[in-house]
Structures are given as structure tokens and as C-alpha cells.
């Protein structure tokens, strides 16, 4: 069946939903919400739901569908704008949600709330002070590997405006994109390395992250040093 429906809306999931979430939503609608014809649902509604599920449950078909959906959203935005210049579109680096238009500095994704464009950093330096390339800082953080998902706990080791390291209880594969929240910044970043460490007889992992976008909530003081 050829149509222009949004399969994510049909299955009531976000564009970054995992296969497990998609399957759970499909089963819920078919069984618990009674959309299966044997439970009183319409044949047409079940057919559309099956089509959406068969597409999003298949990685290759889903990837191709995502490309078409992105182009559809981009073209629709361009037509509505009624301007001669082409519109630059972006995708949230974390949840991959299409973002029509070029994000402004400090912009965040409307779906996962991750930074999609770093806000300009303009701290007031007093005489003799400069920003450190890396600052050691002990702080609890939360990180997400998928969206939607439960936040996972970590402990910051050090950070800079371009990246950070933190301890966690699991190994994270390089190139994994994560969302990170702390008391003074929100960031989206990519894992660069994960090294096993033994501390107090317990296994943990030191994870390196390169920021893709970061918005500092409180910059002044935490990133400054009196060293020359």
C-alpha cells in the first residue's frame, strides 16, 4: 500500500525509538487497544498498522523510510517558507529528529531536549585568567544512550568546552552518541573511548566523550584558572 502516512505517528513512538519500543507499541495497539480485526478493530486500520510495523521493524526498510521522511519534512518546510533561498536542515545529533531550518546558537531538540547547536561561550576573564584545556571536576551526571530511555548515572572525571571524561558501570562502544546532563551543562556527544578501571575492588569504566553540541548553564568560575 503506497501512502504518505507518518509511520512513527501511527505506532505512537518517537523517531529514535528502539526496536523493542516499536514492537511493544505495536502489540499494545493490536491487543490491548483492540485494533486487531478479531478484537473489533477495522481491517483498514490493522492493515495500516501492520504496514508501519513491518517498515520500522526492519532496519534497512526503516533507514530508507527515514531518508524519505526527512526529505518530505524538509520540502514541506521549504514550500511553506515561500523564499527563494534553500533552507538548510539539520538532524538532532542524539535522537536523529529532523530539524527544519538552521538551528540557532543554543538551540535544543524539541523531542529529546539535547543541544543541537552550541551556544557561544563568552566568559568575563579577569587579569591573568584563562580557560583551561581540561579541568578536573567531581560531579554526578546523568547520561542517555537512547531516547526515550531511563537516565543512567555517572561521575565526572574532568571536562573542557570540547569534551569530558566520566566513570560509569558499563562499557560504552566508541562512536555511540549520548546525551549528558549535569548541574552546569547539557550536551550531546560521541564516545571516543571506554577503559576498564578497578577501584576499591569494583569494576568501572572511564569513558571519553567529544561534544557535538554543548550549552553551559554556568560557565564562569568552573572553567577558569589563575595559572599563566
Total count of domains within the chain = 2
**In whole angstroms, how far apart are CA 76 and each of 7, 35, 37, 106, 156?**
17, 31, 35, 25, 42
- pTM given for the model: 0.54
Cβ 92 vs Cβ 116: under 8 Å: yes
Is 39 inside a domain boundary? yes
Is 100 inside a domain boundary? no
- The mean pLDDT of the chain is 78
Residue 73's CATH number = 1.10.287.110
Cβ 149 vs Cβ 135: under 8 Å: no
CB atoms within 10 A of CB 53: 20
Based on the domain organization, do 75 and 142 belong to the same domain? no
C-alpha cell at 94: 542524539
Domain that holds residue 15: 7-81
Tens digit of each residue's pLDDT (9 = 90 or more) over 92-147: 888 888 877 788 888 888 888 899 988 775 444 333 444 445 566 678 999 998 87
CB atoms within 10 A of CB 223: 22
Based on the domain organization, do 211 and 136 belong to the same domain? yes
DSSP single-letter state for residue 98: E
Based on the domain organization, do 62 and 139 belong to the same domain? no
Amino acid at each position: 500500500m503506497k501512502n504518505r502516512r507518518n509511520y512513527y505517528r501511527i505506532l505512537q513512538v518517537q523517531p529514535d525509538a528502539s526496536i523493542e519500543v516499536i514492537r511493544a507499541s505495536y502489540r499494545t495497539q493490536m491487543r490491548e487497544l483492540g485494533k486487531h480485526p478479531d478484537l473489533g478493530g477495522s481491517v483498514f486500520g490493522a492493515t495500516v498498522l501492520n504496514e508501519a510495523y513491518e517498515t520500522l521493524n526492519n532496519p534497512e526498510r526503516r533507514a530508507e523510510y527515514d531518508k524519505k521522511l526527512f526529505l518530505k519534512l524538509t520540502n514541506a518546510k521549504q514550500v511553506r517558507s515561500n523564499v527563494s533561498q534553500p533552507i538548510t536542515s539539520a538532524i538532532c545529533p542524539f535522537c536523529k529528529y529532523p530539524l527544519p531550518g538552521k538551528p540557532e546558537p543554543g538551540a535544543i531538540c524539541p523531542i529529546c531536549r539535547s543541544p543541537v547547536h552550541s551556544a557561544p561561550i563568552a566568559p568575563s576573564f579577569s587579569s591573568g585568567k584563562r580557560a583551561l584545556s581540561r579541568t578536573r571536576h567531581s560531579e554526578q551526571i546523568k547520561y542517555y544512550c537512547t531516547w526515550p530511555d531511563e537516565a543512567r548515572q555517572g561521575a565526572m572525571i574532568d571536562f573542557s568546552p570540547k569534551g569530558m571524561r566520566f566513570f560509569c558501570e558499563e562499557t560504552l562502544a566508541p562512536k555511540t552518541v549520548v546525551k549528558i546532563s549535569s548541574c552546569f551543562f547539557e550536551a550531546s556527544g560521541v564516545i571516543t573511548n571506554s577503559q576498564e578501571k578497578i577501584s576499591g575492588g569494583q569494576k568501572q569504566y572511564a569513558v571519553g566523550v567529544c561534544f557535538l553540541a554543548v550549552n553551559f548553564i554556568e560557565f564562569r568560575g568552573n572553567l577558569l584558572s589563575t595559572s599563566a
